[in-house]
Each structure stands twice: as structure tokens, then as C-alpha cells.
Amino acid sequence: MTTTAPTRLVIATRESPLALWQAHHIRDRLLALYPGLTVELLGMTTQGDRILDVTLNKIGGKGLFVKELETALQDGRADLAVHSMKDVPMVLPEGFAMAAVAERESPFDAFVSNTYAAVADLPAGAVVGTSSLRRESQLRARFPHLVIKPLRGNINTRLRKLDEGEYDAIILAAAGLIRLEMGERVRALMSAEDSLPAPGQGALGIEILASRDDLKALLAPLNHAATAACVEAERAVSRRLGGSCQVPLGAFAEDDDGFLRLRSFVASPDGSDIVYAEANGSRAAADGLGNQVADLLLTEGAAEILKTLGQ
Ligand SMILES: NCc1[nH]cc(CCC(=O)O)c1CC(=O)O
């Protein structure tokens, strides 16, 4: 494999508005760094985009948004794939590498409603839309008086369903709304106590073939060390616990000048059992910190929850 710096790069991306924004963002950052470079986008529809009528957790989850893009890398149709780190499976397939994790947008969930200002204002029986087991289990545990109703589709679809009156409020990632310039729809950010984010939420990853040494140095300036360490710690928790998206799990790390605080939870889907753990550690030991928090969760009761879920 050549180590000469490439002059033309192709980015494989999904074609949802958010995925396209993300790919354009990485393209613009590359062009700012390397003015002589040509960067093209290869738009692709993934299985996850095609199957819109079933809750994704039930049909195989995360890999569904990523696999077709990886095939494009393998076939040489593209050089990079840009992903929301939240959608990337905890173990990359053999031969692939995450060359960079770019600086995070808000990692928090957003409370969006046309009537209410915050989740605490919702009356008994209010209908909240989400299809995320993580969001649903936390809402059920903390706000048992609410009714949770499934909500799928891309961001525009979800907002339309809210506006049509099917829901009193919906919960979605703040990062997506902010990136698509719909940040004004965010009535409140959900606190880490009310809705601990998913591993990798708000962060973008740039995936390449592990053999592409020519791309590693080129992409290194896009890596944000604090974000990369936080996401590594968060993903290590999920990986240790099986990495399945059938498990209601949150993991959220914050970096304070090289010092990480990692919080995580595992719950039963109905929120009746919920276990929290947290630990601190250095950025350099992010992976170990994730394993440590996973082990704390297991001894605090996550092992029983996982067993009940058949994991
Ligand atoms: N599961 C789909 C998905 N993957 C990434 C984001 C949002 C952007 C991000 O977290 O980077 C979303 C939408 C959502 O959860 O509301």
C-alpha cells in the first residue's frame, strides 16, 4: 500500500440530512487543512435507512447503518466513511480502523415539545416519543407517570410527528438538531441524571481500512484527544457488557484537562431495575476506566438484568 499522500479522497456517507451534514463537515475540515485536496461524497442508502417500520433494536441495531459504508471502503469505491459514533458497533470488523474521532457537539439528549418547557413539567399520562431503549428505560424509571410511544424516522420525520400532535414531547439527540440548524427546537437539554447519553453520542468517527497508512497521518489533525478518550471509555463499557443495542445502557464521560469522569447505567426495559456506576481516571487509561465501570455495574446488579434480557 502506498504511503504517498493522496490528492483525491472519496467519503462514503448515508444520505439522511444529518449524515450528509456530517460528511460535508469532515470534507470542509479536510479542505481547510489541505487546500490542494479534492474531496468527493459517495451517498449510500443503508439497511438501517430502508427499514423504517420496525424498532431497530429488534432487527440487528447499530451495524445496519455502517456495513454498506464499510463495503465501499473494502471495494475501493471510497477512502473514508463518516459515522455518528453512536451508530458504530463496539467491535470494528477485522481490517477496519477508526482513524479519528472529531470534536464532540453536545452529547446530551434534547427535550422537544410545542407545549412544555422541560420533562419535569409533563403531566401524568403525557405521551413522550422515543424508540431508544436507553431513553425509554430512564424515563420509565424517573418519570413513571409518562406514557412512552415509539418514534422512528430521521430528525425531520420525528419533528413532523411531534408537530402533527401524536406526542406531547419527543426526546432526541441535541447534536443532530444543532447541526441541522434546528437548535431552536430544543426546549431543554436533558440532564445526565434524567437521560444519560449513549456511548459516543454527539461525536463523529472517521473510519478507514486499517491498511491505509497513507490516510492515517492525513486524518490525525481531525482527531480531538479529549473527545476520543471520552468516547473510548464510553464504548469500553458497552463492549464489556456485550455491546448489544438490545440492552438499555448509557455511558457518558467528561474530560477535565486529561482527567475523565465516566458515568454509566444499565436498566431493564421497563425501568423497574436500574443500576448506576461511575469512576474517575486519566485520559491515557480510558479503555481501562470503561472496563472498571462495566465491572462495577455487573457487581451492582447489571449481571442479573443482562441475564433477564437473554444477553
Ligand atoms: N440513533 C440515530 C442517531 N445517531 C446519531 C444521532 C444523533 C447525532 C449524534 O449523536 O451524533 C441519531 C439521532 C438521535 O439519536 O436522535
Q: Does an H or E element contain 307, and which?
A: helix 303-308
Instruction: Please check whether residue 19 lies inside any domain of the structure.
Output: yes
pLDDT-derived band of residue 60, with 50, 70 and 90 as boundaries? low
Instruction: Please check whether residue 195 lies inside any domain of the structure.
Output: no
Q: Of 189, 212, 238, which residue is a domain's last?
A: 189
Please give the residue that has the higher pLDDT: either 110 or 52.
110
Distance, CA of 302 to CA of 299 (rounded, Å): 7
Q: Where are the beta strands (DSSP E) in the chain?
A: 8-14, 38-44, 80-84, 96-101, 109-112, 127-129, 147-149, 169-173, 188-189, 204-209, 249-256, 259-267, 274-282
Question: Which amino acid is located at 296 in the chain?
Answer: L
Is 301 in the same domain as 238?
A: yes
C-alpha angle 21/232/5, rounded to 5°? 60
Render 128-165 in DSSP notation, one character per residue.
EE---HHHHHHHHHH-TTSEEE---S-HHHHHHHHHTT
pLDDT of residue 130: 97
Domain harbouring 30, CATH code? 3.40.190.10
Which atom of ligand 1 is nearest the CA belonging to 105? 11
Distance, CA of 232 to CA of 287 (rounded, Å): 6
Instruction: Please check whether residue 128 lies inside any domain of the structure.
Output: yes
Grid coordinates belonging to 115: 407545549
pLDDT of residue 65: 79
Domain harbouring 293, CATH code? 3.30.160.40
Is 113 in the same domain as 32?
A: no
Instruction: Please check whether residue 146 lies inside any domain of the structure.
Output: yes
Is 46 in the same domain as 1?
A: yes
Instruction: Please check whether residue 194 lies inside any domain of the structure.
Output: no
Is 73 in the same domain as 213?
A: yes
Q: Does an H or E element contain 17, and which?
A: helix 17-33
Which atom of ligand 1 is nearest the CA belonging to 22? 11
In this prediction, what percent of the chain has a pLDDT beyond 70? 95
**pLDDT at residue 59 above 90?**
no
Best residue for ligand 1 mutational test, from 51, 86, 101, 162 (most atoms within 8 Å of Cβ):
86
Place of cell 491505509: 212
Best residue for ligand 1 mutational test, from 18, 47, 182, 206 (most atoms within 8 Å of Cβ):
18
Grid coordinates belonging to 16: 439522511
Query: Ligand 1 center to residue 256 CA distance, Å?
Result: 24
Question: Does the interface predicted TM-score (ipTM) exceed 0.85?
Answer: yes
Is 235 in the same domain as 266?
A: yes
pLDDT, mean over the chain:
93
In this prediction, what percent of the chain has a pLDDT beyond 90? 85
Is 291 in the same domain as 163?
A: no
pLDDT of residue 243: 76
Is 154 in the same domain as 292?
A: no
Question: Which amino acid is located at 166 in the chain?
Answer: E
pLDDT of residue 169: 98
Of the given ranges (31-40, 50-59, 231-240), which has the lowest mean pLDDT? 50-59
pLDDT of residue 51: 65
- Average pLDDT score over residue span 226-245: 94
Please give the residue that has the higher pLDDT: either 2 or 200.
200
Q: Which residues contact 177 (CB under 8 A, 6 or more apart)?
A: 110, 112, 155, 183, 185, 186
pLDDT of residue 236: 98
Is 209 in the same domain as 228?
A: no
Which atom of ligand 1 is nearest the CA belonging to 87? 4
Which atom of ligand 1 is nearest the CA belonging to 171? 16
pLDDT of residue 56: 52
Structural domain containing residue 113: 109-189
Query: Ligand 1 center to residue 4 CA distance, Å?
Result: 35
pLDDT-derived band of residue 5, with 50, 70 and 90 as boundaries? confident
Over the stretch 75-128, which tens digit does the pLDDT of each residue have?
Answer: 999 999 999 999 999 999 999 999 999 999 999 999 999 999 999 999 999 999
**pLDDT at residue 57 above 70?**
no
* Whether residue 84 has its Cβ less than 6 Å from ligand 1: yes
Instruction: Please check whether residue 211 lies inside any domain of the structure.
Output: yes
Query: Quick check: is 87 catalytic?
Result: yes
C-alpha angle 123/128/134, rounded to 5°? 120
Over the stretch 302-311, which tens digit does the pLDDT of each residue have?
Answer: 999 999 888 7
**pLDDT at residue 17 above 60?**
yes
Spatial contact of 271 and 137, defined as CB atoms under 8 Å apart: yes
pLDDT of residue 61: 60
pLDDT of residue 62: 60
Spatial contact of 173 and 18, defined as CB atoms under 8 Å apart: no
C-alpha angle 58/59/63, rounded to 5°? 120
Q: How many domains does the chain have?
A: 3
**pLDDT at residue 196 above 90?**
yes
pLDDT of residue 309: 87
Catalytic-role residue among 79, 87, 109, 194: 87
Instruction: Please check whether residue 276 lies inside any domain of the structure.
Output: yes
Instruction: Please check whether residue 130 lies inside any domain of the structure.
Output: yes
Q: Whose CA is nearest to atom 1 of ligand 1?
A: 87
Is 95 in the same domain as 140?
A: no
Is 219 in the same domain as 229?
A: no
Distance, CA of 238 to CA of 233 (rounded, Å): 9
Is 216 in the same domain as 93?
A: yes
- Average pLDDT score over residue span 208-217: 96
pLDDT-derived band of residue 39, with 50, 70 and 90 as boundaries? very high
Is 69 in the same domain as 128?
A: no
pTM over 0.90: yes
Query: Ligand 1 center to residue 201 CA distance, Å?
Result: 7
